[in-house]
Amino acid sequence: MNNYGLDIWSNNNFLIENGQIKLNYKSMPALLSIIEEIRTNDVKGPILLRFPHLIKKQITTLYSYFDKAIRYNNYQGNFHAVFPLKVNQYPHAVKAIAEQGREFGYGLEAGSKAELILAMSQTTHGAPITVNGFKDKEMMTLGFIAAQSGHNITLTIEGLGELETIIEVANECNLKVPNIGIRVRLHSAGTGIWAKSGGMDAKFGLTSTEIIEAITLLRNENMLDNFTMIHFHIGSQMEDIAPLKRALREAGNIYAELKKMGANSLNSINIGGGLAVEYDQHTHSKSRNYSVDEFSSSVVFLIGEIMNAKNVSHPDIYTESGRFIVASHAVLITPVLELFTQDYQERLLNFKVVNPPLLEELKYLSKNLNNKNSIEYLHDALDHMESLLTLFDLGYIDLQDRSNAEILVHSIIKKALYLTNAYSTNEFVQLQVRLQERYLINASIFQSLPDYWGLDQHFPVMPLHHLDVVPLRAASLWDITCDSDGEIGFNPEKPLYLHDVNLDEEDYFLGFFNVGAYQETLGMNHNLFTHPNEYTVNIDDTSYNIINEVESKNILDILDSIGYNKSDILNKLKHDLKISDFITEKEKNDTLAKLETFVEQNGYLRTTN
């Protein structure tokens, strides 16, 4: 039975029971029950579900593994973590992070002025705030305001110019000076599609010469005591642990050298993010070669080892991994609207009294196919199909004969596939690439899975139900944007098989998993499709609670948000309708009412699933 790689990517967060995927937590609700409950309120289109217990699980895992490594290595420094807001700034994600992280003193990382304001408003005093990215004088001043307001804030400088700006602000006001961090430019780079953050040609960080200059500048300005942290980040979604180990050795030695140079207040190494998430559904292509256990032990052991060798006291360790914390907490659920090869249904067969002999032969093959002859009959059918197509091109058979032949061959392939259960053989994979089913999903890939569109990042996808039935259809997924990039094609290397369903009789839902990191914030309003309806689901021992509904922006609001005046738009549409000819006044009023309802709904499809 196909479990869609659940054992690889789901980290035991989900399980399959009675043909449905369920949360593997407390009362274990099925995702389908949650979706059906939400849809009873006339909600259509894609739905994003948030599960705060999965954020808690990740935060707890991170802290407990570092705690274990610290105890095991007799490490003298402390462990701290901050959540980088760029990974997910949505209020109900951030609120869950703040709530679940409170007991650990979990902080926030900001990379822009807006994120800094958000961090200042959402962090409990005492929990750290780190600030990265390019900063102007205003942003530095905001950092001073945060420190003055009692926040434990570290401004990490990305270049010498930023340090000069901090000094300028400090000289111009009497506000409390924040802690200062220096991002070091390492020669060690990471690996993978997000590895550009490390290496000598990286966008950020100071070279050794610049670090020495920075120390001199700080000393001359009597601000060396504010310098508390060095920082590096070798890239998100680190596939391989080896580059991190090299980076740790390099950064550890820089730290020890700086201590020797008199940076007495320096007390922390911030190792940035990078902790990877398993996105793969196929054993042969795992996303990372290490566990959190190995990650935390390596960090603690290596830093400790360097400090011991150089006789320097152990620094506190900070991480900024956000993907690891939130990826799993969000699941995108999309209804399937249509299967595009349903035209091959056998009910559409329409034979004549006398059919071409090859077609009669196909009828025979289809009727008599069994598990002993299936491969042989399949080969015969494919052969006949080629001949029938040639006959059609030469004008010897008509369109109805051709349609009958296509339906029969299609059904023979399906039956053969089912009987042999051999859909991983090369021949079947090739056949499926040709005959793949297109599942139209009520969602936008640009809005909800932008990393798939931009970077080919795979996200685990599976149906919510029918999981006790072998899925036989090689599937590609089409979204509803009118853009041919809005497609997740069938990939024989990482095949997706879905079920044959009759959507006139039942709904069919697909879940996209591990979408809680970056996808929401990077999502694009291509075709003006907006962030889907979202809900937070709290699960307890006996049941679950759906809270925090945030509706997808309605059509007028999305137009308004890009600069149109929504009243002008609505008035114009109503005016055009009012002056048009209607036979009855009732029809006019009904149409006006319909128009008003439509513009107050979101843009996803409604009348089908």
User: Applying CB under 6 A, does 243 fall inside the site for ligand PLP?
Assistant: no
Per-residue contact flags (x/-) with ligand PLP for residues 98 to 117, judged by CB under 6 A = -----------x--------
User: Applying CB under 6 A, does 233 fall inside the site for ligand PLP?
Assistant: yes
Percent helix, strand and coil across the chain, each to the nearest 5: 45, 15, 40
* Cβ distance to ligand PLP smaller for residue 80 or 499: 80
Query: How far apart are CB 190 and ligand PLP at their closest, in Å?
Result: 10
Query: How far apart are CB 86 and ligand PLP at their closest, in Å?
Result: 6
> Which member of 5, 46, 52, 274 binds ligand PLP (CB under 6 A)?
274
**Strand segments (E) across 52-207:** 79-84, 107-110, 128-131, 152-157, 179-183
Query: How far apart are CB 211 and ligand PLP at their closest, in Å?
Result: 17
Query: How far apart are CB 236 and ligand PLP at their closest, in Å?
Result: 3
* Cβ distance to ligand PLP smaller for residue 85 or 223: 85
Query: How far apart are CB 59 and ligand PLP at their closest, in Å?
Result: 13
| Alpha carbons 195 and 604: distance in angstroms, whole number | 35
* Cβ distance to ligand PLP smaller for residue 464 or 515: 515
H or E stretch at 139: helix 137-148
User: Applying CB under 6 A, does 198 fall inside the site for ligand PLP?
Assistant: no
DSSP line for 471-484 = --EEEEEE-SSSST
User: Applying CB under 6 A, does 252 fall inside the site for ligand PLP?
Assistant: no
User: Applying CB under 6 A, does 323 fall inside the site for ligand PLP?
Assistant: yes
Query: How far apart are CB 286 and ligand PLP at their closest, in Å?
Result: 17
User: Applying CB under 6 A, does 199 fall inside the site for ligand PLP?
Assistant: no
User: Applying CB under 6 A, does 241 fall inside the site for ligand PLP?
Assistant: no
Query: How far apart are CB 52 and ligand PLP at their closest, in Å?
Result: 18
* Cβ distance to ligand PLP smaller for residue 235 or 304: 235
> Which member of 10, 58, 228, 236 binds ligand PLP (CB under 6 A)?
236
CA atoms within 13 A on the CB side of 334: 27
User: Applying CB under 6 A, does 514 fall inside the site for ligand PLP?
Assistant: no
Torsion angle defined by CA atoms of residues 195, 133, 258 and 75, in that order, rounded to the nearest 10 degrees? -70
Could you tell me where the DSSP H helices lie in 394-424? 399-420
User: Applying CB under 6 A, does 321 fall inside the site for ligand PLP?
Assistant: yes
Touching ligand PLP, residues 550-589 (CB under 6 A): none
User: Applying CB under 6 A, does 87 fall inside the site for ligand PLP?
Assistant: yes
User: Applying CB under 6 A, does 190 fall inside the site for ligand PLP?
Assistant: no
Name the one range near ligand PLP by CB under 6 A: 244-252, 270-278, 458-466, 562-570. Answer: 270-278
DSSP letter for 333, please.
E
Query: How far apart are CB 109 and ligand PLP at their closest, in Å?
Result: 6
Q: Residue 541, exposed/middle/buried by CB under 10 A (0-12, 13-18, 19+)? A: exposed
């369109």: which residue's tokens? 399
Amino acid residing at 394 = L
In the structure encoding, which two tokens stand for residue 176, read together?
């409390």
| Alpha carbons 239 and 132: distance in angstroms, whole number | 23
User: Applying CB under 6 A, does 304 fall inside the site for ligand PLP?
Assistant: no
In the structure encoding, which two tokens stand for residue 156, read together?
């990490």
In the structure encoding, which two tokens stand for residue 506, read together?
């039942």
Name the one range near ligand PLP by CB under 6 A: 166-174, 317-325, 467-475, 564-572. Answer: 317-325
* Cβ distance to ligand PLP smaller for residue 274 or 603: 274
Catalytic entry in 353, 482, 579, 583 = 482
Name the one range near ligand PLP by CB under 6 A: 116-124, 321-329, 541-549, 599-607. Answer: 321-329
* Cβ distance to ligand PLP smaller for residue 320 or 520: 320
**CA of residue 211 relative to chain centroid, distance:** 36
Name the one range near ligand PLP by CB under 6 A: 6-14, 217-225, 257-265, 271-279. Answer: 271-279
Touching ligand PLP, residues 26-55 (CB under 6 A): none
> Which member of 211, 258, 275, 462 binds ligand PLP (CB under 6 A)?
275
DSSP letter for 329, please.
G
Counting DSSP H helices and E strands in the chain, the numbers are: 21, 20
| Alpha carbons 104 and 121: distance in angstroms, whole number | 18
Amino acid residing at 367 = K
Query: How far apart are CB 229 and ligand PLP at their closest, in Å?
Result: 12
> Which member of 5, 322, 356, 471 binds ligand PLP (CB under 6 A)?
322
**How would you classify the pairing of strands 497-498 and 316-319?**
unpaired
Query: How far apart are CB 304 and ligand PLP at their closest, in Å?
Result: 23
Q: Kindly give, in sequence order, each residue whose CB lies less than 8 Å from that of residue 167, ignoring residues fewer than 6 positions away.
A: 217, 221, 223
* Cβ distance to ligand PLP smaller for residue 2 or 321: 321
* Cβ distance to ligand PLP smaller for residue 38 or 81: 81
> Which member of 10, 58, 132, 179 binds ligand PLP (CB under 6 A)?
132
Query: How far apart are CB 325 and ligand PLP at their closest, in Å?
Result: 7
**CB 25: neighbour CB atoms within 10 A?**
19
| Alpha carbons 568 and 105: distance in angstroms, whole number | 49
**CA of residue 149 relative to chain centroid, distance:** 35
Quote the longest CA-to-CA distance of the chain: 100
| Alpha carbons 488 and 496: distance in angstroms, whole number | 10
Amino acid residing at 206 = L
User: Applying CB under 6 A, does 272 fall inside the site for ligand PLP?
Assistant: yes
Q: Residue 69, exposed/middle/buried by CB under 10 A (0-12, 13-18, 19+)? A: buried
Annotation says 482 is catalytic:
yes
Total residues contacting ligand PLP (rule CB under 6 A)? 15
Amino acid residing at 466 = H
Q: Which residue is nearest to ligand PLP (CB)?
A: 273
**How would you classify the pairing of strands 533-539 and 47-50?**
parallel
Q: Residue 589, exposed/middle/buried by CB under 10 A (0-12, 13-18, 19+)? A: exposed
Torsion angle defined by CA atoms of residues 96, 99, 100 and 103, in that order, rounded to the nearest 10 degrees? 170
Name the one range near ligand PLP by CB under 6 A: 2-10, 319-327, 356-364, 432-440. Answer: 319-327
Residues near ligand PLP (CB under 6 A) are 84, 87, 109, 132, 197, 233, 236, 272-275, 320-323
Catalytic residue annotation: 482
